[in-house]
Amino acid sequence: MEFFQRFAIPHPSPAIYASMVAIALVSIAIVVGLTYFKKWGYLWREWLTTVDHKKIGIMYLLSAILMLFRGGADAIMMRAQLATPEAKLLDAQHYNEIFTTHGVVMIIFMAMPFIFAFMNLLVPLQIGARDVAFPRLNALSFWLFFFGAMLFNISFVVGGSPDAGWTSYFPLAGNDFSTSVGTNYYMIAIQISGIGSLMTGINMITTILKMRAPGMTLMKMPMFTWSAFIANVIIVFAFPVLTVALLMGTTDRLFGTNFFTTGNGGMDMLWANFFWVWGHPEVYILILPAFGLYSEIISTFSGRNLYGYKSMVASMVLISLLSFLVWTHHFFTMGQGALTNSIFSVTTMAIAVPTGVKIFNWLFTMWKGKIRFTVPMLYSIGFIPLFTIGGVTGVMLAMSAADYQYHNTMFLVAHFHNAIIPGVVFAMLAGLTYYWPKFFGFMLNEKIGKSTFWLLSIGFVLAFFPMYITGLDGQARRIYTYSESTGFGPLNMVSFVGAALMAIGFITIVWNIYYSFKNSPRNIGSDPWDARSLEWATHTPVPVYNFARMPQISSSETFWDSKKKGHQLFKGEYEEIHMPNNSGVPFVMSAIFFVAGFSFVFALWVPAVIALIGIFICMGLRSFEQDHGYHIHVKEIEETEEFLGGAK
């Protein structure tokens, strides 16, 4: 009995027991459903073992949407608790756990897989490649992310959620103040999915540098590919810092080392520095691909080529450099002194310059364009003013002297949601709507899509703008309640209404997918939006080999040129195509990672060691394996092309 005691929840509540039952029921339903419909073989062959970048992208997409709802449930609980003064919905401990998991889930397990989804779906198509450079490594990246996410998500029903904030500052996150295993989950789950992210970074950089179609120089790449390239460079340089920080945090908690403790020489501020040396570039890892998506969408629906291509690239390069030079602005009040704070104030404000350049480029792209107000374009147009407000309040926060007033208040919460929701979330939803037909073969309903946009935009403004005011008035973040005499009540109620509208908005997305699946026509062709870049040049649905013949590139908008200026995109005869084989090893190896991670969380050393040995055996087997892939023959290509509606 004592052995099982450790898996109990330290702060149980009816909601958590209900979740346990729900998780059990859903799991049983999935197993029974798969068995009843005899889909286990299909699942294994087509999805669990796939190395196809398009299917991996779709799995990233589904996981991200799932996690969006997990994180969103946390958000609505927080807003409900704060809607009225001295509410009793959540106690302090639950509130701590919920704002912690909300942050981690939304950044690491929602936004990251969302951008990885688009990178996987789009980058090989935009550069005219068959797949990524290392398809099997790509599958491993996904499954490491997936099992990392699952490990993190079981924390609230097995052993207790982390409760030290998504930043998990020490000494709060140390053993003295975080006594449950929750923070172990934080350290290890993020570590596992972080390894996956790093591998994606390496994979994408190699793909983009070496696998572009003939004629596509770096400065002829579509803008999303440029943004993905720079984001992945940031990933490769930022994630190892997190790896080390998490390793040290893990050994502090499990082996009693003194990196971040307050005794024996430990330095708690070292964690804060490492965390944000990764954490600030992480912000740009998320926002740059979002900028890339907006660039594609705005240019398509304005009917004009992207204004200032070179300055777009230059500004992203500059942002990527500056992103590593601003981390201290996350803790101006934590004792660096005036000189350090001033330097980091200046570097922080400097980021507004290249970002401003991009904003003007998008405006000039729309200038004199024939704008089509489709759903993706609405998100993009909504993004510009809303994101600019977030940027301006960011410059306010960058002033280190003034930051003493804003620090740790709702003002900060309003600012970063104001940057991330119109910046990243809107971009992901715009991209989802824009690219949906390419990968699923039907369009999402425009009417429902527009109501989603308005619900989310109005909900967003109502939810977060009041926080600027209560924050300046002194409402602290991460505090589970407030007294009536503070006067924060009415504005927090407005926030709750906004959050509820956003929740309805997100539900309409699911409704839209269901409705469109039932009702949308399937004969939409391969280019339903009259788009400009290469990913639209191949068939819908995209054949497994992407392009039957290598496209010949002449500009950054080759596909547009081929439609309007008579550029010949595909030349020559079909040739045999070499493709990689499927493999179950990435899935199995990541599942073993999950076992290892779980054992580390609970300090169960025997299974931990066995699982680690299992991981090394998988790596050893991979070393000895000879996998030369397979070939698609010319005849088969011809048949596929004919079946998909004519040769390309």
Partner 1 sequence: MKIDHTQPLEYSTDQNQLNILGFWVFLGAEIMLFATLFTAYFTLAGRTGTGPTPAEIFEITPVLIETFVLLTSSFTIGLGIHAMRLGRKNAMLTFFGITLLLGLGFLGVEIYEFMHYYHVGATYQTSAFTAALMTTLGTHGAHVTLGLFWGTFIIIQVIKRGLTPQNANKAFIFSLYWHFLDVVWIFIFSFIYLKGMM
CA distance 357 to 508: 34
Nearer to partner 1, 269 or 497 (CB): 269
Smallest separation (angstroms) from partner 1 to the CB of 198: 6
9, 160 in Cβ contact below 8 A?
Answer: yes
> What CA dihedral angle connects 206, 318, 125 and 441, to 10 degrees?
140
Task: Specify the pairing of strand 577-579 against strand 630-632.
Answer: antiparallel
Taken as a whole, the chain contains a residue count of 648
Which listed residue (203, 347, 526, 546) binds partner 1 by CB under 8 A? 203
* Helices marked H in 267-374: 268-302, 309-322, 338-366
241 binds partner 1 (CB under 8 A): yes
Binding mask 43-82 for partner 1 (x = CB under 8 A): ----------------------------------------
Asked if 337 is part of the footprint of partner 1 (rule: CB under 8 A), the reply reads no
Stretch that binds partner 1, among 85-93, 264-272, 342-350, 360-368 (CB under 8 A): 264-272
Cα torsion angle, 93, 95, 100, 102, sign:
positive
Residue 266 lies near partner 1 (rule: CB under 8 A): yes
Stretch that binds partner 1, among 103-111, 183-191, 237-245, 392-400 (CB under 8 A): 237-245
Phi, psi values for residue 631, rounded to 5°? -115, 140
| Closest distance of CB 266 from partner 1, Å | 5
Cα–chain-centroid distance for residue 543? 26
Give the residue among 183, 189, 158, 192 at the shortest CA–CA distance from 254: 183
Using CB under 8 A, which of 34, 154, 236, 321 touches partner 1? 236
Question: Does 243 help bind partner 1 (rule: CB under 8 A)?
Answer: yes
Amino acid letter, 614: G
List the interface residues with partner 1, window 552-611 (CB under 8 A). 578
Beta-carbon-side half-sphere exposure of residue 545 (alpha carbons within 13 Å)? 24
In sequence order, what are the residues at sequence separation of 6 or more whose Cβ sits closer than 8 angstroms to the Cβ of residue 215?
Answer: 552, 553, 554
What's the count of helices (H) and strands (E) in the chain, helices before strands? Answer: 22, 2
- Looking at beta carbons only, is 242 or 537 nearer to partner 1? 242
Q: Which of 5, 217, 523, 623 binds partner 1 (CB under 8 A)?
A: 623
Q: Tell me the two tokens of residue 614.
A: 């299992």
539: left (phi over 0), alpha (psi -120 to 50) or beta: beta
Q: Does 628 bind partner 1 (CB under 8 A)?
A: yes
Give the burial string for 326-338 (b: 16+ CB within 10 Å, else e). bbbbbbbeeebee
> Quick one: 101 or 582, whose CB is closer to partner 1?
582
Q: Quick check: 202 binds partner 1 (CB under 8 A)? A: yes
Specify whether the CB–CB gap between 50 and 582 falls below 8 A.
Answer: yes
Within 162-201, the residues that bind partner 1 by CB under 8 A are 198, 201
Pick from 56, 110, 245, 287: which binds partner 1 (CB under 8 A)? 245
The candidate with the shortest Cα–Cα distance to 589, out of 42, 113, 136, is 136
State in angstroms the smallest separation of the CB of 176 from partner 1: 15
The one segment of 3-11, 269-277, 419-427, 583-591 that binds partner 1 by CB under 8 A? 269-277
The one segment of 18-26, 208-216, 219-227, 484-492 that binds partner 1 by CB under 8 A = 208-216
Residue 635 CB, nearest approach to partner 1 (Å): 21
How many residues bind partner 1 (CB under 8 A)? The answer is 44
Contact residue for partner 1 among 75, 127, 140, 248 (CB under 8 A): 248
Is residue 258 a contact residue for partner 1 (CB under 8 A)? yes
Cβ proximity to partner 1: between 629 and 645 the closer is: 629
Q: Which of 7, 8, 35, 210 binds partner 1 (CB under 8 A)?
A: 210
Q: d(Cα 5, Cα 159) in Å, to the nearest integer?
A: 9
Write out the residues near partner 1 by the rule CB under 8 A. Answer: 133-134, 198, 201-203, 205-206, 209-211, 236-241, 243-245, 247-248, 251, 255-259, 261, 263-267, 270, 274, 277, 578, 616, 620, 623-624, 626, 628
